Every structure is written in C-alpha cells, then in structure tokens.
Amino acid sequence: MLCFPQPMDDDERQILLQEIAKRDAIIERQAAEILVLRQMIDALSRRVFGVSSEKLDPAQLELMLGPDGSKKAPAADPADHGPAADIKDHKKRSRKTRAPRIPDHLPVVREQLDPPEVRLNPNGYRRIGEEVREQIGFKPAEFYRIQLVRPKYVRIDNPVAKPVIAPLPPSLQERCIATPGLIAEVIDNRFVCHLPYYRQSEMFARLGVNLHRKTLCDWTLLASDWLAIIYRAIQYEHWRCPYRQIDETPIRYLEPGSGNAQQGYLWTSNIPGGSVFFHWHEGRDAMAIDALFEKPTPALTDESAREFIHIIQCDGYSAYPAWAKHKPWIKLMGCHAHMRRKFFEATEQSPRLVAWILRQIAHLYQIEQRLREAKAGPALRQSVRAAESRIIHQRLHQAITLLAKRRILPKSRLGKAIKYALRQWPQLELYLTDGRVEIDNNLVENAIRPTKLGAKNWLFLGNAESGKKCAILYTIVENCRRLGIHTREYLEDVLTRLPALKDARVAASLTPAKWLAARSAKAARPAA
C-alpha cells in the first residue's frame, strides 16, 4: 500500500524555511572562509616557489571594468583619456652596447707555440703570419709581509746623545697587524659580497694565512668606529633634506640569555638622486622614526618648525601617521607601488576588475617614465602631472570608491587592497601637487635589498650593539655602490687618511660623494 506524505501546516513550513536559511548562512560563511584560506595558501606558495616578477598578461590589461557578472556599465576606453593614452605599452628600447668578453685593460702575457719541426730546424722555415687565441687567466689573491724598518741614528760628534728614530705613521690601532687595505678587503667581502666571517677565514686559510673569524670581526668594528664621523656627516645631510623616503627591514640579532634570536630593524632614509642613510633600532615603533630626525632644541618652536616642512614618503605602516600626528611640519606621502602590489595579489579573485585597475596605474607609471627619460625638473613634472596624471588618478579613485560599496569580503585580498587604497588615498594624491616627489618608494627599497642578501648568508648579528656598527658600514657601502665607486678602493684610501687628520671638518668631507668629486676634479686638472 502506497503512503503519501502529509501536507505541512504553516508552522512546520516556517520552521523548515528558517532551518534552510540558517544552513545557507553557514554555507556562505564557510565559502568565504575557504576563499580567504585559499588566498593565504596561494600567497605562501608564491613566496616560496613563485618568481619575483609581477608581470601580468598584456591581454588582461585591455579588459574593461566588468567584474564577475556585475550589471555596472563598462568603463570608457582608456584610449579616450587624454595624452596619457598616446604612450605605447611596448616601447622599443635601444640595445645596450655589449661589453667585450675580454677587457682591453688587462695585462697581456704572450706565449708562442712553435711546431716541433720548426723547433728542430728553425733556419729551414720562414714565418709568414700567426693565429692568436685569447683567454682570460686568473692569479689568486696573495698576502705579503710588510716590514717598516726604522733605523736609529746618533750624532757623530756627540755619540752619547739620545738616538733619533723616525716616528711610526698614524694607524688605526697600535700594534694592529692589518693594513687598511686588508681591513677594506674584509669589509668588502662582508658587506658587498655578503660573505660571513667564517667563510672569509676559510678562504684566507687556503691562501696560507690563518685568521680567526673573531679577528676579522674586530677589524670590522675598528673600521666602523673610524668611519662614524663620515656616517654622522651623511646623517646631518638627511636631517636637513626637505624630502626623504623612509622604510624599514627586520634584521635578527643575538641577545644573551634570551634563548632565541631577537628581531631588530634597519631603518633606511633615502634622498632620491642623493645619498642613503641606515639607522639601527631594536623596535619598530614611532621612537625609531624619531631617531631619523634631528633632536629638537629648546629654541625651536612649532611656528619656526613649520617654516621647514619635511616631506616623508613611506608605506601604509600605522607608526608613521601616529608619529606625525602632532607634528604639523611633517607631511606624509604615499607609495603607489604598495597599492599596486596589493591589487596584483588579488588578480585571481577578480581578473577583469584587477586588470583594469592595474591598467590605470600603468598609465601613471608610463607618464613618470616619460618624464624620467626627458630628465624633467620639478616644475615640469608638476605641470604634466596636473594635466595628464590627475584625471587618471580621479578615475581610479572613483572606481575604487564604488567597489568599496559592493559586497566584497573585507578579509579577502581584493577587500584588503580596496581598504588600503582608500585609507592611503589622501597621501597618494599629494604627489600630483609637488614635482619633487616620486610616484613610489621603490628607490629606498632598492637600497634595502643588499641587507637582505647578506642576511641570507650570515643569518643574524652578534648583538644589538653590532647593529649600530652594521648601519655605519651599510651606509658607506651603499653610497659607494650608488656612485659607482669601488668600495675597497674607497675604504683603503679613507682608512689610511683618517688617523692622520686633525680637523673633524676635514674628516667629514670624506663622504663618498665628496671623495668622488675631489677625485674627479684632480683627474680633470691638467698636469703641471
């Protein structure tokens, strides 16, 4: 006999609908959590196994604003938006001149190979030409022993008088067996080639000289003490600069008794087109930022400080606005590269939408590239940005503002990118009103990169005090690299001259930039 279900009354139907709605809400919440977890896994996979570039398929960049089934009207063609659209995406770059495989300045060693029959009967053959094969040879570095011989003299007419002897030349430290050239080699290996001290010790042992790694470390600390006066001269230059870029990077160090390596920070201050300055601090709070600026004097009031506005370009780290909150003479600028990076990471969540946003940012960067190639000054940059970049900036802001009103999961990558962009937008648009300011903070991040390469090899610093010494040496080394100065040559010359200098003002004039200018002026001076 067939059994038919009994019809439900209104109360049962209402209970069933509530149960279905409750389960739908659970499913929706779990789907959102799964999406966030997938994005986190994808981010970790990219960091571990992915490539370092952030390239996007050029075909995706042409897609319009039409995200995921939205009924929103598509955005206008970027080709209709002013002079910025006239810039080509794939500009053909001029091919760089390739350097010769074997440099011409190398000394030449000729080796002549005669056939056996010619060697047996040289008078029976006449030379009609030659074939030359060139190779590059290498001779390992070698140590040598220096003996400073100081003869003692006594007067012939007064043999009982006190003997005379030449004084020792000024040195970095009494009885130090290392010359400035050897100390410069150790610093160059450590901070330019990123070789830990134990590897250098093994390398020197293969050359027949046993130097303990602690000895190498002590020599480096000795050099940093002498170079501190040059470091302070660069620091003073940054204190007085009205526009700087600031960023920080973590560096681990050992703290006796803690059991684990602690984390400190190298704070980096960069002057675009100028010098770079590193400062060590154990924390990442506002006090570390304050250490990058000159200590206020009692005579300095808020009114007088406002006359000297400091423009600081940084990322969205919350310590910056907290530090600048009660400092009216500080103006914070945003970084478009950080905003772009967050949207790029959300590409898989909404490819069409993110492609359009990245396309607008690309227009801004193409304008900056054109200005950079034309070597435009601050006034021209400000004018071009007002005429071309501002309209793109406004269009991008309108799109991101509309996206914030849609139902996008706040914890998703796209939601975080939108939140970051809107929070930073007042600082991001300030670059349109000042031609001195760069569009992003990439220059200071490029200055930080060598410190991260070194940390992969030596892992951590000996203690917190070593961080201050490393900040001095990284400041010197990075400024040499920027100016194309051979670090070892500079350090050997400066460490040789510093002990003999009596005037601190002369010592402060040995910064890499001034040293290079003096060297270039001397080379350009006609010989007498």
Write the pLDDT tens digit of every residue in 139-161: 777 888 888 898 888 888 888 88
* Secondary structure (3-state) at 428: helix
Instruction: State the CB neighbour count (10 A cutoff) for residue 185.
Output: 20
Q: Supply the pLDDT for residue 363.
A: 93
> Both tokens of residue 15?
């209970």
Domain membership of residue 32 as a residue range: 10-43
Is residue 507 a part of any domain in this protein? no
Is residue 267 a part of any domain in this protein? yes
> Of 404, 433, 448, which residue constitutes the final position of a domain?
448
What is the Cα–Cα distance from 333 to 340, expressed in whole angstroms? 15
Q: Are 307 and 295 in contact (CB under 8 A)?
A: no
Amino acid sitting at position 162? K
Counting runs of H as helices and runs of E as strands, what totals does the chain give?
19, 7
Q: Are 64 and 356 in contact (CB under 8 A)?
A: yes
pLDDT band at residue 93 under the 50/70/90 scheme: low
What is the Cα–Cα distance from 273 to 278, expressed in whole angstroms? 16
Q: Supply the pLDDT for residue 380.
A: 92
**pTM of the full predicted structure?**
0.76
Is residue 358 a part of any domain in this protein? yes
Percent of the chain with pLDDT over 70: 85
Query: Taking the chain, what is the end-to-end CA distance rounded to the nearest angstrom?
Result: 125
pLDDT at position 86 over 50: no
The C-alpha angle 138, 207, 204, rounded to 5 degrees, equals 110
Q: Supply the pLDDT for residue 17.
A: 79
What is the Cα–Cα distance from 414 to 421, expressed in whole angstroms? 11
What is the Cα–Cα distance from 351 to 413, expressed in whole angstroms? 12
Among 7-11, 94-98, 288-292, 300-304, the minimum mean pLDDT is found in 300-304
What is the Cα–Cα distance from 201 to 212, expressed in whole angstroms? 6
- The DSSP-derived string for 287-315 is HHHHTTSPPPPTT--HHHHHTSPEEEE--
Exposure pattern of 492-511 as b/e (b: 16+ CB <10 Å)?
bbbbbebeebeeeeebbebb
Among 98-102, 323-327, 472-476, the minimum mean pLDDT is found in 98-102
What is the DSSP-derived secondary structure letter of residue 361? H
Is residue 390 a part of any domain in this protein? yes
Q: What does the pLDDT average to over 497-518?
A: 87
Q: How many domains does the chain have?
A: 2
Nearest Cα residue to 343 out of 446, 245, 415, 249:
415
> Both tokens of residue 237?
């230059």
Among 97-106, 147-156, 441-450, 476-485, the minimum mean pLDDT is found in 97-106
**Whole-number average pLDDT of the chain:** 82
Q: Which of 47-56, 127-136, 143-152, 216-225 is modeled with the greatest confidence?
A: 216-225
Q: Supply the pLDDT for residue 7.
A: 67
108 or 139: whose pLDDT is higher?
A: 108
For helices 390-404 and 413-428, the axis angle rounded to 10 degrees is 140
E strand map for 306-347: 310-313, 330-333
pLDDT band at residue 323 under the 50/70/90 scheme: confident
Q: What does the pLDDT average to over 120-140?
A: 86
Is residue 33 a part of any domain in this protein? yes
> Of 448, 469, 489, which residue constitutes the final position of a domain?
448
Q: In this predicted model, what pLDDT tens digit does every residue of 400-455 receive, in sequence order?
A: 998 888 878 778 888 888 999 999 999 998 889 888 889 988 889 888 888 888 88
What is the Cα–Cα distance from 230 to 504, expressed in whole angstroms? 10
pLDDT band at residue 46 under the 50/70/90 scheme: low
Q: Supply the pLDDT for residue 365.
A: 93
Q: In this predicted model, what pLDDT tens digit does every residue of 252-273 receive, in sequence order?
A: 888 877 778 888 899 999 999 8
Is residue 325 a part of any domain in this protein? yes
Is residue 38 a part of any domain in this protein? yes
Is residue 442 a part of any domain in this protein? yes
> Of 398, 426, 448, which residue constitutes the final position of a domain?
448
For helices 487-497 and 464-483, the axis angle rounded to 10 degrees is 110
